[in-house]
Amino acid sequence: MLNVYPIAATAENWVHDAVYGKVRSALEALNNGEDAPDWSDDMPADLADRQALETRYNAFRAAAAGLTNRQRTKVLRALQDQNNIPAVFDGIAACPRIAATPVKIRKPTADLFDAAFDALKSFKVRDRQYAVIFEGLPGKCCPFCGIEPFEAPGLAREDMDHYLPRSLYPFAGANLRNLAPMGGKCNRAYKAAVDVICDGTGQRRRCFDPYGQNQAEVSLLASRPFEGDDNGPFPLPAWQVDLLGDVESVATWDEVFQIRRRYEGKVGAHFREWMEHFAVWCEGEVGLIPSRQDVIIALGRYLSLVLQRTHDDGAHLKRAMFEMLRQQCEESEISERLASWLSALVRSQRQLVT
């Protein structure tokens, strides 16, 4: 992830807390030979009167009553472990899938926590969570890719991703700590129901915590100018996208969201546009850049004055690309060739203007 969400956005987690507490009390009571509590017992008024939740809780309670103590203990463990966030993101803490619980409890569990998730919308908890996230998010774009822009609160709602997929970990289905606004492509075209804490073979893996502290950075410094596809007067570099950060978390992020592949496509598709913008800026702000030193100075000014450290619409990739060009002009074997090419680009822009 390029950015993380403010933990304050998870403060209003009362729907999850209430349903989680009721389910835990039911399982523990039944294991102690007691009757499971009624839905309305010690339940916040807004939830006590919610018929959809009561109906689904009663179905869950009935299914749980038909289990053995040992089976209920398994369900209780799944309830607790699936909500042991952020520990489950470390690749070590136990987190059994719903498939590890008895068959008869699976659908009632999914139905109950789906209803709890629906309640978040009804109570506008999701809207308030998103408003806090949007306010504190640099670049106002999806932190999983840095490409897809986020709409302001009150406009079209961004996808709400269940970071731990609710098809696999339904007990976390209404936990705000597990709910992450995400760009539509990231959510539907790439992540979908992929398990972020287990790879395709079922092996545990570490991943970024959307509300944590760890983040990643992107470097294109190892890319090689002129060695990519020939595109007429704008020959592409051979791109090398390096993702910097916790190695295991970065690997999961890249695999789930196809980050390197998407970034290569983005910089390749916009290379000409970005270079032409640089040439226009130079023509207007610094004039011709005939020497290699002039090119290096112009690139430095462009990075400092134009390319801020944001992530909206791939701005981080544009900056990384120009950092690579500056470094190549400073110290690579092709520094003179690259500087001459950039100088000619600005000269041709001057000719177009005049």
- Print pLDDT tens along the chain (354 aa): 999 999 999 999 999 999 999 999 999 999 999 999 999 999 999 999 999 999 999 999 999 999 999 999 999 999 999 999 999 999 999 999 999 999 999 999 999 999 999 999 999 999 999 999 999 998 899 999 999 999 999 998 899 999 999 999 999 999 999 999 999 999 999 999 999 999 999 999 999 999 999 999 999 999 999 999 876 788 999 999 999 999 999 999 999 999 999 999 999 999 999 999 999 999 899 999 999 999 999 999 999 999 977 767 789 999 999 999 999 999 999 999 999 999 999 998 766 654
On whether both 126 and 174 belong to a single domain, the answer is yes
Q: From CA 320, how far away is CA 223, in angstroms rounded? A: 10
Q: Is residue 207 part of a domain?
A: no
Q: Are residues 251 and 184 in the same domain?
A: no
* Residue 211, in any domain of the structure: no
pLDDT of 138 reads 85
State whether 264 and 167 are in the same domain.
Answer: no
Residue pair 52/115 in contact by the 8 Å Cβ criterion = yes
- Residue 265 is predicted with a pLDDT of 96
Domain assignment of residue 319, yes or no? yes
Whether residues 313 and 179 share a domain: the answer is no
Assigned domain for 209 exists:
no
Residues 230 and 287 in one domain: yes
- Do 71 and 111 reside in the same domain of the chain? yes
Last residue within a domain, chosen from 174, 191, 208: 191
DSSP-derived secondary structure letter, 236? P
Q: Retrieve residue 284's tokens.
A: 């207007």
Q: Are 169 and 93 in contact (CB under 8 A)?
A: no
233 shares a domain with 145: no
Q: Is residue 296 part of a domain?
A: yes
Place of tokens 């038909």: 66
Task: Give how many domains the chain has, as a whole number.
Answer: 2
Tokens of 244: 């910097």
Domain range holding 75? Answer: 7-191
Q: Is residue 205 part of a domain?
A: no
pLDDT at 139: 85
- How many other C-beta atoms can be found within 10 angstroms of the C-beta atom of residue 100? 13
* 34 and 120 assigned to the same domain: yes
Q: 227 and 185 in one domain?
A: no
pLDDT for residue 229? 83
Q: Which helix (H) or strand (E) holds 181?
A: strand 179-182
Residue 199 counted as domain residue: no
16-to-11, 57, 79, 292, 295 alpha-carbon distances in Å: 11, 13, 12, 61, 57
pLDDT value at residue 352: 60
Beta strand 217-219 with 242-244 is antiparallel
Whole-angstrom Cα Rg for the chain: 26
CA distance linking residue 159 with residue 161, whole number of Å: 6
Q: Are residues 65 and 171 in the same domain?
A: yes
- The verdict on residue 196 lying in a domain is no
Say whether both 147 and 296 belong to one domain. no
Are 34 and 157 in a shared domain?
Answer: yes
Domain boundary among 191, 208, 240: 191
Q: C-alpha 342: how far from its chain's center?
A: 36
- Per-residue pLDDT at 217: 96
